[in-house]
Structure 1
Amino acid sequence: MSAIKGKGPIYDPGLCRCCGTMKKCRVLNVEYENSGKKEVYSDMMMDCFGLLLSHLDGKPSERLVCATCVLRLREAVGFRQQVLQCEEAFIQMKMYDIDNEERQIEERIICIPKVEMDEVKTEPQDRESDVGSLSGDALADTGDYGDDELIKSETCNDDTNSDDLPLQCIKKDSASLKRLELKRQRVRTSAMMMKKLPMSKLQQMMRERDPAYIRETNILTIVEFSYVCPFKCRHNHLLCYYCGENFQDPLLLRQHTESLHHPKKFKVTETKNVIKLDLTRIDCRLCGAGIDNLEDFKKHITSVHRKKYYYNHKDSILPFRLTKHEMKCALCDVLFPYFHALNKHMNEHFSNYVCETCGLGFVDKARFVMHQQRHDVGDFPCETCGKIFKAQYNRDLHIDRVHNKRGRVYCPKCDMKLMSYPQKLKHLVEVHGEEPLSFPCSMCDKVCDTRRTLTIHRRKDHLKDYRYECQCCGQKFFTRFALNNHMPTHTGERNYKCKVCEKSYPRLKTLKDHMRIHTNDRRYRCHICGQAFIQNCSLKGHMKSQHPEYG
């Protein structure tokens, strides 16, 4: 099944040619768009690895690549480009060193002082005999001036401008040639000993091609020369970036950081994640100028104090303005009940990593990778009970909840772990005395207890967002799960078999209902006579036959 999107065709599911798994895939030799750039994956493989894939002119379903392999290919292409850029910079610098050395030698030769005419006045016969006594190497070292040039120099008169033509007016005698040779040797020696461009300059140019170096330099400039407070977080607790001490009050965190930790000791330890900064106070540490806006501080620190800051690189910081009793977004002023919700909200402003499967954006790679685990579809069996899950995230969640009896939802007030989000809401109301959360629908009178329930209600009941369509009959469904349950009506597949009686069913839910026959699970009980039944349909038949007056 394929779906046509704005960025190219998507096949779900499809067989990836690079890893051999069934996932949501793209076509290898079709042009796609990523962050405003065009990319063809087969061409990228050819450029990066020299791999020419076969059968790229066949069916689209036979030339697919999954999102995981696309990400790995992009990283490989990016690394190749980085190496080539650094190599080009190195070669350019080496060529600059050679050209600079040759230019300096030429300048030194041109600047050789002229030989005074009275120093070289000798008899013609003596000059000729001395020239004849010189070796060929000596003549060659004088700048390839042969007999013709030396004879030509005899025609120069005293009126010749020796500054313009210093070598042409040198008389042809052994003494002047020897002096010229010595001067040339001194020029060559001084050129060899001349200090080349410092390697630090080459290293700096190569470092500036590395985005990680630019990112770290920008962060260090902001932290070292302003009063911003870097911090980390663990759920709803604020931690000192330097020593990890825990704080509930942001004011105490700022006072602790300013009094005990000097900004020059700051080091970027979260290399893959963004740095959280409390911008309640910015100001300049160098001159004490009052500054409230981070952009104004960047202009001030570069123009007034001449500090280095790379404006063409995207900031890797999360801005906050924290107070104890109010968690407000520093960008859109939306209020949140606790810090964890505010931190999660920042994904909406900084979608640095976008999930290609569902389109959600995330601030940093850690959140993005954690989210992608939910889309890793396959067979993930539980080692304890043998139950098979389609996603690793669901398998791990099952192990924690069922076998380890360990909750994965934190309470923002006491850090107690609860089994589910509804349990957390109930815990906040009963233990901490908070008002129950309610999310009223703006289109009808329905009130939901969670934001997720409200979103589903709007999409399903009001927007009629049934995005999953059956390719056989055209019927639309709200979820992919509902579409998968519908497909056996066309294919006739019965993939779920009972291990007791080997009877097979097209759906997992039907098999689970059947299994209650073997366990004698009579969960449907008549509220009139008390008779219990295994299946709900049996209870309905009982009500019609035995208690029609209640039908």
Structure 2
Amino acid sequence: MFQHMRTHIGEKPYSCEVCGSSFTHKQDFLHINKIYPFICEHILERNRIPVNYVVVLLHRKKNLVIHKRTHTGEKPYSCEVCGRCFTQKQHMLQHMRTHTGEKPYKIDLDIPMLRHSGDKSYSCEVCGRSFTQKQNLIIHKRTHTGEKPYSCEVCGSFFTNKNHLAIHMRTHTGEKSYSCEVCGRSFTQKINLVIHKRTHTGEKPYSCEVCGSSFMYKRTMLQHMRMHTGEKPHSCVICGSYFTSKNVLAVHMRTHTGEKPYSCEVCGRSFSQTHNLVRHMRTHTGEKPYSCEVCGYSFTQKQHMLHHLRTHTGKRSRQ
């Protein structure tokens, strides 16, 4: 009778230390062992789980074994050709194809031909956007309906398509299948590796149509374009000032909050921006990176060097 009364008053005396869920009956409290029989001991050794800690609960013992390798660093599967090691057998087999040239998956030749021909027979009734494949239209429509049919078994997040779910799952497993051949840094997505490689090659594929400046990232180019268009989409809620990017707005907000997150390790003085801290550090190190091309005199700041140059050229500073 007492247990039944809790259904009326809403009392839930049994709470789960792993996920925080509360229950009216003790038998319901054992839900974790029923749903996720294999739990990583890195979680169990904590009395309480921090909010920002990713709880890794697994349905099968095999998944637990694979997950543990993210903690131990174990990579039991090695390539017989180049010796590279992997945490999972399937990743090693996929890698082997780069040596053998094997391409086991066949595609419908009509689909690539549609892409080349530009034929987009499937159109969205809401926004008019067109697609070459019906499946792509179905996925696109979910951006209008909000439908997210694919859910994560670990944290319950929802996604519009299988690919997004697969990428998300790597945040739980720790899998990073794409590695940089230059520095060894690994990534969960191929596109992130492609972008990272530009830091080594110096490639800048995005160019400004106005002044010709080149950029490594598309977002940087778009922010630069606002210098030409005058667009300032980000506004300060306190004083109403407008800015070209979120980063510039974040720096501006510190003038209102007084926040100075960058501190000098020598004297403890704090600054609102990193470049001010870098410039200040030169007062301790004595570094003078800006030199006069005429007399060789050095300066800690660029503007001081430019001001000095006028003593040689005879140009006066603007009043």
TM range (shorter): 0.3 to 0.5
- TM, length-normalised to structure 2: 0.42
